[in-house]
Structure 1
Amino acid sequence: MDFTNESNKALKVLQNGGLVLYPTDTVWGIGCDATNTAAVEKVLTLKGLDDKGLVCLVASDAMLERHVEKVPDLAYDIMDLATKPTTLVYDIPKGFASNVIAQDNSVAIRVASDKFCKYLIGKFKKPIVSTSANLQYQPIALNFKEIDKAILTGVDYVVNLKPENQYAGPSSIIKMVIDGRVKVIRE
């Protein structure tokens, strides 16, 4: 399977409110349209999650800026200096499904570095959910072979590509606050 063909298949699923399993710059992710409440609910149900607040991917800094009230200057420094994939949590998100947004009105967003992810999100023109491909309370699957069968059969499409430069673990998560403070949530 080739890059373009796989992205077209995944794009069609995303556009129809479905779920895709896809390689990211960290671990395999379950993805959907981060602006579609029904699609996000499918992810929450599949994983057995009862709380809100999911990681989302955007294709560029420009897309990030369209989906949060203000990106602090420090966020760009952190992204530039990070030595591993880093997800930043921003206050006052814009345009996301309500069930993506955490109870404190924040959203976790990572600018994708994986070529496939950037290409897919760029074609989709909207953020996509990128939650790890594991059931609630189960360990994060660090490679495709570790993904639970319930996840594999619960998504609408599995992208048939190997990860580009997958980091064998979840991203760091850092909370950005408009007043300039930061809080490390996960190293």
Structure 2
Amino acid sequence: MQEDIKKACEVLRKGGVILYPTDTIWGIGCDATNEDAVKRVYEIKKRDDSKSMLVLMENPVKLQNYITDVPDIAWDLIDLADKPLTIIYDGARNLAANLIAEDGSVGIRITSELFSAELCKQFRKPIVSTSANLSGEASPSTFKEISEEIKNAVDYIVTYRQKDKNKAQPSGIVKLSKNGTISIIRK
């Protein structure tokens, strides 16, 4: 695992794109602060850049570096979540401009899964995490389900958990608005 993390970090620091296991499904990832790398992920997925992608972090304290005003309820939601939860926050900052939605929001998930959390910790920046599929196709729930087109398009494929046969599920998604409204996007 440590060798995978070392190699993945090297690729991310050079603006590359990786294929890696997360706390949910396998993801395509890059440095969330690098606009060119984010653009490549959109191109790999053949996805319109108006469709948002989320960001992974391993420590909720880091939210304050990327969100102008973290709502108090966010801390409770993070603490109480019993499965992976992506929260869409208003007031995104210090991230690649093409990662931030037109309304200034961004989805962030705090991961506690062993590999993705350690990767985020060692990389020291948020990492894009979007499903490892072409836009419009079903999200793969195991590594074996990822298309060769995706595998051939990335710069590094993590070997850790490739043989895992557990069917992964996407995260829940909620949107927190500045006015305190909580909208459930996906349970």
Give the TM-score category using the shorter length.
Answer: over 0.9
Distance in structure 2 (CA, Å) of the matches to 1:168 and 1:76: 25
- Indicate the residue corresponding to 1:156 in structure 2: 155
State the superposition RMSD in angstroms. 1.6
Q: Which runs of 5+ in 2 are unaligned?
A: none
State the AA in 2 paired with 1:168. A
- Indicate the residue corresponding to 1:24 in structure 2: 22
- Indicate the residue corresponding to 1:39 in structure 2: 37
1:35-184 paired onto structure 2 within 5 Å: 35-52=33-50, 53-162=52-161, 168-184=168-184
Distance in structure 1 (CA, Å) of the matches to 2:49 and 2:120: 25
Write out per-residue CA displacement over residues 83-126 of structure 1, whole angstroms, 9 at most, x where no aligned residue.
21100000011110011111111000001111211111111111
CA contact (8 A) 2:24 2:168 kept: yes
Write out per-residue CA displacement over residues 7-32 of structure 1, whole angstroms, 9 at most, x where no aligned residue.
00000000000000000000000000
In the TM superposition, residue 167 of structure 1 has moved relative to its aligned partner by: 6.8
In the TM superposition, residue 51 of structure 1 has moved relative to its aligned partner by: 2.8
Aligned length: 185
Segment of structure 1 superposing worse, 23-32 or 154-163: 154-163
Distance in structure 1 (CA, Å) of the matches to 2:144 and 2:20: 13
Distance in structure 1 (CA, Å) of the matches to 2:37 and 2:91: 21
Superposition misfits of 4+ residues, deviation over 4 angstroms = none
Write out per-residue CA displacement over residues 125-151 of structure 1, whole angstroms, 9 at most, x where no aligned residue.
110100000100100001111101111
Distance in structure 1 (CA, Å) of the matches to 2:168 and 2:60: 24
Distance 1:167 1:83, change over 3 A: farther
In the TM superposition, residue 34 of structure 1 has moved relative to its aligned partner by: 0.4
Q: TM-score, normalised by structure 2?
A: 0.94
Taking only the aligned residue pairs, the percentage that are identical comes to 45
- Indicate the residue corresponding to 1:9 in structure 2: 7
Distance in structure 2 (CA, Å) of the matches to 1:158 and 1:141: 15
State the AA in 2 paired with 1:7. I
Write out per-residue CA displacement over residues 60-95 of structure 1, whole angstroms, 9 at most, x where no aligned residue.
011112110111111111122222110000001111
